[in-house]
């Protein structure tokens, strides 16, 4: 399970890792399905990515998985048939990893959502690695009945409310999973500032503005300014830089600076496709007033109350 706040790059991180695994797996087997069966489709898909439906039910979750494989679905299928189809699709396509994104859209006070979670746990018996991605997993209720084992750093799930889930043994009692927390960047100590600037270096290296200098995002007050505008959330930073580059190109300036970015409002224009109630849409920080931004370098560190001093002092 990969947990974190909205727009913190959880999906991109998981998909990058899954893509690297898929490429290595395909190369290892000469791009052929090592478990192919006679008469099955020869399309080999080691990794499947599916978004959890906003109002998830066992049937709609199965249909979402089958839609990924472009599998035919009966007009009025019953749940056991859908589960059998999902099992067959995962097997026939040689799928090793099933990613279910936005899993915290499930609400444990709804019976349908509880049944969907039981179904997802039953997927563990399908010979695939299950990767669940969501916002604030510990606070969502999905782990409410789980037990954390400090010795292993893993979570153990209790038995399902049902002995079997439509013929699939729900063996999550003996199954364990790792909970990985992805946090936003912080700006309170020297190592945190260094990590933020290093990330800005990576972003800067991918920009193709004609007048972009080597320290366009990483020198002077820019690291501090960008942190204040985005609160260290990589998705907000990406949106601000993208819109800023468009403005820099349209205006002919071909570089980013605070003057350009000052006129850019961070617009979460795709937020209507996200579930705000599940924490998928973060709060956008207000633009700092000009009088609040003195000419400090990136060594100034901050906490919730304001500047603390230099990075060295913050580290001490």
Q: What is the pLDDT of residues 208-255, one digit of tens each?
A: 888 888 889 999 999 999 999 998 998 899 989 999 999 999 999 999
Helices (H), 231-291: 234-251, 258-261
Using the predicted structure, report yes or no on whether residue 316 has a pLDDT greater than 80.
no
pLDDT score, position 41: 55
Decide: helix, strand or coil at residue 294: coil
Q: Tens digit of pLDDT for each residue in 163-177? A: 444 444 444 434 566
Beta bridge partners of 189: none
Using the predicted structure, report yes or no on whether residue 96 has a pLDDT greater than 90.
yes
Beta-carbon contacts of residue 209 (< 8 Å; ≥ 6 apart): 216, 245, 248, 249, 254, 255, 256
Percent of the chain exceeding pLDDT 90 equals 30
Model confidence, pTM: 0.71
pLDDT score, position 314: 39
- CA 48, 50, 56 angle in degrees (round to 5)? 145
Alpha-carbon distances, residue 90 vs 35, 52, 69, 127, 171 (angstroms): 11, 17, 9, 9, 18
Question: Residue written as tokens 């991180």?
Answer: 13
Q: Tens digit of pLDDT for each residue in 11-62? A: 989 999 999 999 999 999 888 888 877 766 567 899 999 998 887 888 899 9
pLDDT score, position 15: 94
Query: How far is Cα 64 from Cα 60, in angstroms, rounded to an integer?
Result: 6
Are 193 and 298 within 8 A, CB to CB? yes
pLDDT score, position 153: 67
pLDDT band at 191 (very low <50, low <70, confident <90, very high): very high
Beta bridge partners of 80: none
Query: How far is Cα 165 from Cα 292, in angstroms, rounded to an integer?
Result: 58
Q: Tens digit of pLDDT for each residue in 252-298? A: 999 999 999 988 888 776 655 665 555 666 677 776 665 444 444 44
Average pLDDT score, the chain: 78
pLDDT score, position 291: 43
pLDDT score, position 249: 93
Choice between 297 and 125, residue whose per-residue pLDDT is larger: 125
């Amino acid at each position: 399970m990969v947990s974190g706040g909205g727009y913190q790059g959880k999906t991109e991180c998981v998909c990058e890792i899954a893509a690297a695994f898929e490429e290595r797996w395909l190369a290892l087997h000469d791009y052929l399905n090592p478990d192919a069966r006679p008469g099955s489709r020869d399309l080999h898909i080691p990794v499947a990515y599916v978004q959890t439906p906003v109002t998830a039910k066992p049937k709609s979750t199965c249909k979402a998985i089958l839609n990924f494989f472009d599998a035919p679905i009966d007009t009025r299928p019953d749940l056991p048939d859908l589960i059998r189809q999902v099992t067959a699709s995962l097997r026939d396509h040689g799928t090793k990893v099933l990613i279910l994104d936005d899993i915290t859209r499930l609400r444990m006070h709804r019976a349908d959502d509880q049944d969907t979670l039981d179904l997802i746990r039953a997927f563990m018996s399908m010979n695939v690695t299950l990767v669940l991605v969501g916002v604030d997993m510990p606070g969502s209720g999905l782990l409410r009945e789980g037990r954390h084992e400090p010795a292993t750093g893993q979570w153990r799930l209790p038995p399902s409310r049902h002995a079997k889930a439509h013929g699939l043994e729900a063996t999550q009692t003996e199954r364990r999973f790792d909970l990985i927390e992805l946090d936003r960047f912080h700006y309170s100590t020297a190592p945190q500032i260094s990590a933020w600037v290093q990330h800005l270096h990576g972003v800067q290296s991918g920009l193709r503005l004609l007048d972009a200098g080597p320290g366009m995002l990483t020198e002077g007050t820019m690291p501090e300014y960008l942190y204040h505008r985005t609160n260290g959330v990589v998705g907000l930073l990406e949106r601000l830089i993208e819109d800023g580059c468009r403005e820099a190109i349209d205006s002919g300036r071909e570089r980013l600076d605070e003057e350009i970015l000052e006129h850019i409002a961070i617009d979460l224009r795709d937020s209507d496709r996200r579930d705000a109630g599940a924490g998928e849409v973060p709060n956008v920080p207000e633009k700092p007033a000009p009088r609040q931004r003195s000419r400090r370098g990136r060594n100034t560190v901050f906490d919730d109350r304001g500047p603390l001093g230099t990075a060295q002092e913050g580290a001490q």
